[in-house]
């Protein structure tokens, strides 16, 4: 396969962790006989410095033409001035909107070799393997909002709004993913209170009945889901939900693994390329020291191969290599619990050796 991959290394530790993911992708290409062409483009704080714009037009144009995009992280104290004309995060929101990235995928699969890094008990966590689908471009974050005077001061509103089409497209993606996994889909809503959730419930039920009769489907209220994630996480396979609920539940879910340095995510749209990134930020406190954990970005590269290039075997090969180095005891400082640790590059080397 020939594939064009745009790299947006970004700021802080972004370039350090993206460099390791690129080495891994190059090794996979050599091993399986593929050709990946990488183009690196400015985005985030560095792009504000060089172009006055966190997402320069040329960067966006390159992304549109790519098969997939791999992002490090953006932001840092240098660009935090609230009075500044623009901010690195503006680039993030813009690229999601411009590429139509409506589905955010977050796998929550604690490594069997790091179960003690989680605040939860080992016996609750063991066997957990959840794939979250969070709707990313609709709901209360994008609905009408405003304020007006009120006898007590002011009143404010933010409208949660979804259309049938917005629900159908993400439910189809999530149900298709469930087909390739354990065949179960859970839809999370608040249908006992919210009209918008009742639309999610009726649309999802119809899509599942007509198009995915082979998938086991159930619904859970969001408040109950917040508890189930901590008490019986291994009961869930694929979970689909709207933007606000997904924002909160995926952060709760990420704590099951105990470390941000290990979690990848993907944002998918249609028909544009998918965007893949670690869930952590630019970690300015450790940037430039060569000690960042590159595994989340390496695992994001595995998701890129699986979801954008449909290279399942290659993706699994990377995931297995990461599990093996963890099993062998390799730890960067963030997951070493005070014990001896290795540098970013050394962790990359170990993954490469497994490949």
Catalytic site positions: 141, 190, 223, 247, 251
Query: CA–CA separation, 185 vs 314, rounded Å?
Result: 25
In 47-74, which positions are buried (b, 16+ CB within 10 angstroms) versus exposed (e)? bbeeeebbbbeebbebbeebbbbbbbbb
Considering only residues 78 to 137 of the shown chain, the ones binding ligand NAD according to CB under 6 A are 92
Q: Is 326 in the site for ligand NAD (CB under 6 A)?
A: no
Query: CA–CA separation, 197 vs 151, rounded Å?
Result: 31
Instruction: Name the minimum Å distance from CB 49 to ligand NAD.
Output: 14
Helix (H, G, I), strand (E, B) or coil at 46: helix
Helix (H, G, I), strand (E, B) or coil at 237: coil
Closest CA to 300 of 279, 324, 269: 279
Instruction: Name the minimum Å distance from CB 292 to ligand NAD.
Output: 4
Tokens of 266: 């993907």
Provide the 10 A C-beta neighbour count for residue 260: 17
Phi, psi of 226 (to 5 degrees): -60, -35
Q: Is 331 in the site for ligand NAD (CB under 6 A)?
A: no
205-244 footprint of ligand NAD as x/- string (CB under 6 A): ----------------------------------------
Annotate 168-219 with three-state secondary structure: HHHHHHHHHHHHCCCCEEEEEECCCCCHHHHHHHHHHHHHHHHHCCCCEEEE
For ligand NAD, how many residues bind (rule: CB under 6 A)? 21
Residues comprising the chain, all counted:
355
Paired with 278 in beta bridges are: 264
Q: Is 280 in the site for ligand NAD (CB under 6 A)?
A: yes
Closest CA to 196 of 232, 148, 155, 244: 244
Instruction: Name the minimum Å distance from CB 107 to ligand NAD.
Output: 16
Q: Is 255 in the site for ligand NAD (CB under 6 A)?
A: no
Report the residue number whose CB is nearest to ligand NAD. 281
Please state whether beta strands 264-269 and 101-108 pair in parallel, antiparallel, or not at all (unpaired).
antiparallel
Instruction: Name the minimum Å distance from CB 293 to ligand NAD.
Output: 3
Instruction: Name the minimum Å distance from CB 80 to ligand NAD.
Output: 7
Paired with 82 in beta bridges are: none
Quick one: which of 171, 185, 292, 304 contacts ligand NAD (CB under 6 A)? 292
Quick one: which of 194, 244, 255, 260 contacts ligand NAD (CB under 6 A)? 260
Instruction: Name the minimum Å distance from CB 322 to ligand NAD.
Output: 13
User: Which residue, 8 or 167, has its beta carbon nearer to ligand NAD?
Assistant: 8
User: Which residue, 81 or 154, has its beta carbon nearer to ligand NAD?
Assistant: 81
Q: Is 73 in the site for ligand NAD (CB under 6 A)?
A: yes
The piece of 184-192, 203-211, 227-235, 282-290 that touches ligand NAD (CB under 6 A) is 282-290
Residue found under tokens 């714009």:
53
13-52 footprint of ligand NAD as x/- string (CB under 6 A): x---x-----------------------------------
Binding site for ligand NAD (CB under 6 A): 13, 17, 73-76, 92, 260-261, 277, 280-286, 292-293, 296, 334
């Amino acid at each position: 396969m020939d594939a064009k991959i745009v790299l947006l290394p970004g700021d802080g530790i972004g370039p350090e962790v993206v460099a390791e993911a690129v080495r891994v992708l190059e090794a996979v290409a050599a091993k399986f006989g593929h050709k990946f062409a990488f183009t690196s483009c400015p985005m985030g704080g560095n792009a504000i410095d060089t172009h006055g714009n966190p997402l320069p037009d040329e960067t966006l144009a390159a992304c549109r033409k790519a098969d997939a995009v791999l992002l490090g992280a953006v932001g840092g104290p240098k660009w935090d001035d609230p009075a500044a004309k623009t901010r690195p995060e503006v680039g993030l929101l813009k690229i999601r909107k411009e590429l139509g990235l409506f589905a955010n995928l977050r796998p929550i699969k604690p490594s069997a070799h790091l179960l003690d890094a989680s605040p939860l008990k080992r016996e609750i966590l063991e066997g957990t393997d959840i794939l979250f689908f969070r709707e990313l471009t609709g709901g209360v974050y994008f609905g009408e909002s405003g304020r007006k005077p009120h006898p007590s001061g002011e009143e404010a509103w933010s409208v949660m709004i979804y259309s049938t089409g917005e629900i159908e497209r993400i439910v189809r993606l999530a149900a298709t993913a469930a087909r390739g996994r354990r065949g179960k889909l859970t839809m999370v809503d608040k249908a006992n209170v919210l009209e918008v959730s009742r639309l999610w419930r009726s649309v999802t039920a119809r899509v599942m009945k007509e198009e995915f009769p082979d998938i086991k489907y159930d619904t859970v209220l969001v408040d109950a889901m917040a508890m189930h994630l901590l008490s019986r996480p291994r009961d869930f396979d694929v979970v689909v939900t709207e933007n606000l609920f997904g924002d909160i539940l995926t952060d709760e879910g990420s704590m099951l693994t105990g470390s941000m340095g290990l979690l990848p995510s993907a944002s998918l749209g249609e028909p544009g390329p998918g965007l893949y990134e670690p869930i952590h930020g630019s970690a300015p406190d450790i940037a430039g020291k060569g000690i960042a954990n590159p595994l989340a970005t390496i695992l994001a590269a595995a998701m890129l191969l699986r979801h954008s290039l449909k290279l399942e075997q290659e993706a699994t090969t990377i995931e297995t290599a990461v599990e093996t180095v963890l099993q062998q005891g390799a730890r960067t400082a963030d997951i070493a619990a005070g014990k001896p640790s290795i540098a970013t590059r050394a962790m990359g080397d170990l993954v490469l050796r497994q490949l």
